[in-house]
Structure 1
Amino acid sequence: MKKFLFTTVALVALGATVPALAADLSARSPVYTKAPAYAAPLYNWTGFYIGGHLGGVFSSDSNFGGLTTGNNGNGRFLGGLQGGADYQFAPNWVVGAEAEYSWTAGNNGSVIFPGGQTYTNNQRGLGSVTGRLGYTWGPGLLYVKGGYAFADNNESLVNGAGAPLAFGFSGDHSNGYTIGAGLEYMLTQNWSAKIEYQYYNFGSSSFTAPAALVPFGSFRTDDHVVKAGINYRFNWGGPVVAKY
């Protein structure tokens, strides 16, 4: 009986002590919590986009051996639309394709020949379909581009009295190539802004008719364009995990 009473008292005392010790240890032990992982901003250039641009176009003054021109070489206002698609890989490289059209204000130039004939090229617009390759560091994208270009030309030839004359050229000076470079910056997940230089070359042409203008040689049609634009992006590639 004494052993039973002693054992009972010991168990009761131990049962009372263990919770107290556990509470004391909990109070003294520091609480460790895992710090949240750092989530760096993710910029994804993969997807389709559409946008608009404004700028200026400057045409080279290269007409028929340096004859007097109307406004060739002067700056003209330019504005238009663009659309394309990009794909980000590797992960800091971006490859894409873009189509754009720009409306231009004013004539590209006019030439007055010694016989009184006046040739005018009203270049109403410039277009291009290009590929582009760029390097990105997060929100920034530095790129080069190049491809096919076309010019929307409205041409005329009149005599000294202003009557229209029939004429022909050795080249169409409406189809050519373009190269350029630019910097684009992602403002938000869906909006980006860019500044860009683009060179257009449509080759050289010379008169095949009328016969009186054939000896005057050829002229070259090329344009230099500087523009700023904004794009809305329909991103579909998901987050791009990259170390910049």
Structure 2
Amino acid sequence: MGPIAASIGFPVIPGSGRYSDTRVGWTAGGGFEWMVMPGWSVKAEALYYDLGSATFTSSSVVYMSPVSIAVGGFAFGGPLMINAPTTRVRYDGVIARVGVNYHFNWGAAPVVARY
């Protein structure tokens, strides 16, 4: 009979995934602007966007036995379960903005100095 060896291994070998795509969707929003004094205004707006969803499968995740035993030329232990997780991602959200504006009066007649 050969030597007996035992080890405690890592319980999980993680998988990995990658996704790349150009998304097309829609947006809706609204806002307001209020003149607080001549030439100055404040504004607020919100936009909701929806670019759909995507589903992808990552590489396998392996759950290892916490104990591996080798007796002679035979090994006991190793992978207990292997799965390939699927991930679904929604691409939607809200963008909110606030601001202060100064309104230049470009349409007014130029000021001409007279002496």
Q: If the length of structure 2 is used for normalisation, what is the TM-score?
A: 0.46
Q: Name whichever structure is richer in strand by fraction.
A: 2
The one of the two structures with greater contact order (alpha-carbon pairs below 8 A, sep at least 6) is 2
Q: Name whichever structure is richer in helix by fraction.
A: 1
Q: If the length of structure 1 is used for normalisation, what is the TM-score?
A: 0.25
Structure of higher CA gyration radius: 1
